[in-house]
Structure 1
Amino acid sequence: MTLIQRYFFRQIALPVAAACAALVGIGILSQSLDQLEIIVERGQSVWVMVKLTLLAVPQLLAVILPIGLFVGALISLTRLQREQELTAAFASGVTRWAVIQPAILLAAIVVLMTLATTLVLQPAAQRQARAEAFAIRTDLAALLVEEGRFVQGPGGLTVYVQQVEQNGLMKNLFVYLDNGKAVRTWDANEARFGRSADGAPTLLLKYGTMQEYSSKGVLNQLSFDSLPFDLSPFTSTDEKVRYKPSDLWIGQLFNPSPAVLARVGTHGELLAEAHSRLSSPLYALTAMAMALAAIMGGAFSRTGYGARIGKAAAVFLVVRVLGYVVVAASAWNGWLNLLQYLLPIAATAVALRLVFMALKPHRRRTWPAWRRLKARFA
């Protein structure tokens, strides 16, 4: 690139990066508010909430990057046009294509970033997030412990905890077990969840007693300073992690196994998701082309470009919403997958045509027959 092109690239790239960063921050904030339930109701740590929040970001990037590109490009191009830097470049002999080439290059970079996100980062993060959510949902510690309430667990187990401290220490714990064969109760001043040497989940009870009725109806009582309570008989579950089409790799979407088709979705839904991942990066080119058309697709205006920017934003919103509609419809009609590519490509071509049509002088259209008639009677 020439010196002026590098200058334009920097002037456009910085607002685009700032807009994308702001939108990512808003997305992280909204996701963190949704994940507060994990701390409040599931008793998980702040780190678990942060990890789930960050794992949700790649799925948002496919939507955030084109919008951030559109907003940042409008901000930078408006400033360049208002300060007549674009006019000075044209007056010095720089062609229109040379001026918009840095913007197109930036859009191509965003396309590659979005493609890497949809093909690699999104499925990897979604699968990890799904596994983390499954572990939280099946976490016996979170299911059994609720401060100040009797919680019934599997296998006839009932647990009561008076107080749970921030470090996971439980105070004044009561455990009742009635599995149909024996009735036992444990009470302890302190308790903490842990793992045994072989990795089995245990509940370590401290400073308490255990009561049990024998088969002859005799009450046996045992005092202890430390007693591990094995939780492995109550942790068995047949439930498995259930994935969605957005969690699968691109190869699994195009060539799904019978198990995937049985558990995740139909062949049409998986194909629609696969083509959506490949076509969604093209909307970055559409965003940049419409931003260029809004600022450079007409004559210079000293009063601003609010009307043009509003029209461009409305058209971009309509095109993007239509893209989502086409994705949903493609699950039922495979031929519509072609429209997932044609829609952003056609919108980009129309916008670029408006940019280059601004070079041609506006001429009033007249009919040849009307011109001959006027010449005859003149």
Structure 2
Amino acid sequence: MLLLSRSVFLQFVPPFLLTTGVLTFVLSMDTVFRLINLIVDRGVKLSSVSLMLLYRTPQFLSVTIPIATGLAVVLVVVRLSLDHELTALRASGYSYGQLGRIATGFGLLTTALGLLITLVLQPLGYRAFEDEKLRILKSHTAKTIKPQVWNYDFSGKVLFIEALGANDQLQGVFVSDHPMGKDGSVTVASSGSVDFLKEEQAIVLHLQEGAIHRYSPTGGYQTVTFDQFRYVFAPPKIVSNAESGHIWGVPTPELWQGNDRTSRVELLLRLTNPLAGLALAAGMVSLSIISPRRYRTGAYLRAFILVVVYYLTWVAATEMATYTDTSELVLGVPALAVLTFGILNLLRMDGLGPR
């Protein structure tokens, strides 16, 4: 029996690796296209772009590994059914429960891998991605700000400098809203320097000895002089930052010590998301067992429905935990429900559970 169990267990590995690779590739396509644009439009080095893609990979794997686990179980069990191997296993005294335990063991292994990714690698990767993005931003801004060149690269602004002094000091700075509206302003300064805000990922011009010219709401004209002025504006769109929340980069021990709800929800998400692999592995076994005389389409359709139902309930649980006063423990309900469903189904098929 041990030899048979090991043989069945090893059959899960090839489809799991293949499915993980395909799903990760598909999920990363949008990011890949954006990073390719950095090479074409911004002249960013291929090595930097490759690093950024590597840093994002743990985020992709945290999604694809649980799905790939369930699909691997479906593919193997359906093949065993159609090739009469499952019939031979049953004739030798092998129960559906034993097959379910093997699949669940495989799910436990992939869940452990998923926990390593969500608890350790994903926060590290996100922080490294943000650091690399800031480094590219600094490098790109240094190349973009050139004397005697009108710079329209910054969203809603146009920048012009007369010259660059020692230590990259800006001389003769002109900054204007673009396009100029009724409430637009023009800022001029004799000198200034460039700095960066890491958290906000914004560019700061430290201007000296200048004036701000703008129209007042009443239709008049205002001039405000200054000795020092801190001009903050959005950087060029080096990489899309549609993802919200730098909490993704917070180390897991800090989340564990945090008392706010946001930290608790993020910690529970990191702990419960990988459990999808275990739940789907257990739930897919009974859905994938079919008669050799039947087509495999029905098994695949049932597996697809289970995945959709699981992630719909997961989205609902996440929304409840994030935006309502519901306990954060609701995040574990989808995995627990699917796991219970799979175990009860296997017990029923072996004649041990409720009918």
TM-score by shorter chain over 0.5: yes
Query: 1:113 and 1:156, CA in 2 relative to 1: closer, same or farther beyond 3 A?
Result: same
- Which residues in structure 2 correspond to 1:40-119 (within 5 Å)? 40-119=40-119
Distance in 2, matches of 1:63 and 1:124, equals 17
Alpha-carbon shift at residue 314 of structure 1 (Å)? 1.3
Q: 2 CA distance for matches of 1:280 and 1:310? A: 23
Which stretch of the first structure deviates more once superposed, 39-48 or 354-363?
354-363
- Residue equivalent to 1:166: none
1:54 Cα deviation (Å)?
Answer: 1.2
Give the total of aligned pairs: 286
Cα distance in 2 for partners of 1:352, 1:17 equals 25
Q: 1: CA distance between counterparts of 2:122 and 2:299? A: 35
Change (3 A) 1:333 1:362: closer
Give secondary structure in 1 for the equivalent of 2:94.
coil
What SS is found at the alignment partner of 1:288?
helix
Any conservation in 2 of the 1:77–1:295 contact (CA below 8 Å)? yes
d(CA) in 2 for partners of 1:67 and 1:149? 51
Shift of 1:151: 2.9
Does residue 234 in structure 1 map to residue 185 in structure 2?
no
Report the CA distance between 1:327 and its aligned residue: 1.6
Shift of 1:158: 5.2
CA distance in 2, matches of 1:177, 1:79: 72
Q: 1:105 to 1:53 in 2, by over 3 A?
A: same
CA gap of 1:159–1:59, structure 2 versus 1, over 3 A, is farther
Shift of 1:271: 1.6
1:249 equivalent in alignment to 2:235: no
Q: Does 1:271 align with 2:260?
A: no
**Paired residue for 1:178?**
172
Provide the rounded CA distance (Å) in 2 between the counterparts of 1:108 and 1:362. Answer: 23
Report deviation, 1:125. Answer: 0.3
Q: Compared with structure 1, are the counterparts of its residues 47 and 360 closer, same or farther at alpha carbon in structure 2 (3 Å cutoff)?
A: same
Q: Secondary structure of the equivalent of 1:251? A: helix
2:342 is paired with a residue whose SS is: helix
Using the TM superposition, give the Cα deviation of residue 23 of structure 1 relative to its aligned residue in structure 2, in angstroms.
1.7
Contact 1:77-1:292 within 8 A present in 2 as well: yes
Is the contact made by 2:149 and 2:160 (CA closer than 8 Å) also made in structure 1?
no
Structure 1 residue 320: deviation in Å? Answer: 1.4
Deviation at residue 176 of structure 1 after TM alignment: 9.2
**Root-mean-square deviation (CA), in Å?**
3.3
* Higher RCO (C-alpha under 8 Å, 6+ residues apart): 2
Letter in 1 for 2:342: A
Cross-structure match for 2:222: none
- Equivalent residues in 2 for 1:268-347 (5 A)? 268-296=261-289, 300-347=291-338
Aligned partners of 1:76, 1:5: CA distance in 2, in Å?
13
Q: 1:134 to 1:325 in 2, by over 3 A?
A: farther
- Amino acid corresponding to residue 145 of structure 2 in structure 1: L
* Code of the aligned partner of 1:236: D
- Deviation at residue 235 of structure 1 after TM alignment: 3.3
Shift of 1:137: 2.3
**Letter of the 1:354 counterpart:** N
Alignment of structure 1 residues 153-192 onto 2, 5 Å: 157=161, 177-178=171-172
Tell me which amino acid in the other structure corresponds to 1:356: L
The alignment status of 1:126 with 2:126, answered yes or no, reads yes
Structure 2: distance between partners of 1:6 and 1:179: 71
The answer as to 2:36 corresponding to 1:36 is yes
What whole-Å deviation, never above 9, does each CA across 1:273-305 have from its counterpart, x for those lacking one?
Answer: 111110111100121122202123xx6251223
Counterpart of 2:194, as a letter, is T
2: distance between equivalents of 1:129 and 1:361?
A: 51
1:14 shift after superposition: 1.5
Query: Where does the alignment leave 5 or more consecutive residues of structure 1 unmatched?
Result: 161-174, 181-230, 258-266, 366-378
Q: Distance in 2 between matches of 1:25 and 1:131?
A: 24
Q: 1:362 to 1:272 in 2, by over 3 A?
A: closer
Percent identical among aligned pairs is: 19
In structure 2, the partner of 1:144 is 145
Residues 356 and 158 of structure 1, relative CA distance in 2, 3 Å threshold: farther
The letter of the residue matching 2:80 is L
- The separation in 2 between residues aligned to 1:128 and 1:4, in whole angstroms, is 44
Cα separation, 1, equivalents of 2:349 and 2:331 = 29
The amino acid that maps onto 2:277 is: A
Gapped runs of 5+ residues in structure 2?
175-190, 201-244
Report the CA distance between 1:337 and its aligned residue: 1.3
The separation in 2 between residues aligned to 1:12 and 1:176, in whole angstroms, is: 62
Counterpart-to-counterpart distance in 2, 1:318 and 1:159: 62
Question: 1:285·1:348 contact (CA, 8 Å) conserved in 2?
Answer: yes
Bigger radius of gyration: 1
Pairing partner for 1:348 from 321, 339, 344: 339
Contact 2:344 2:353 in 1 (8 A): no
Tell me which amino acid in the other structure corresponds to 1:58: P
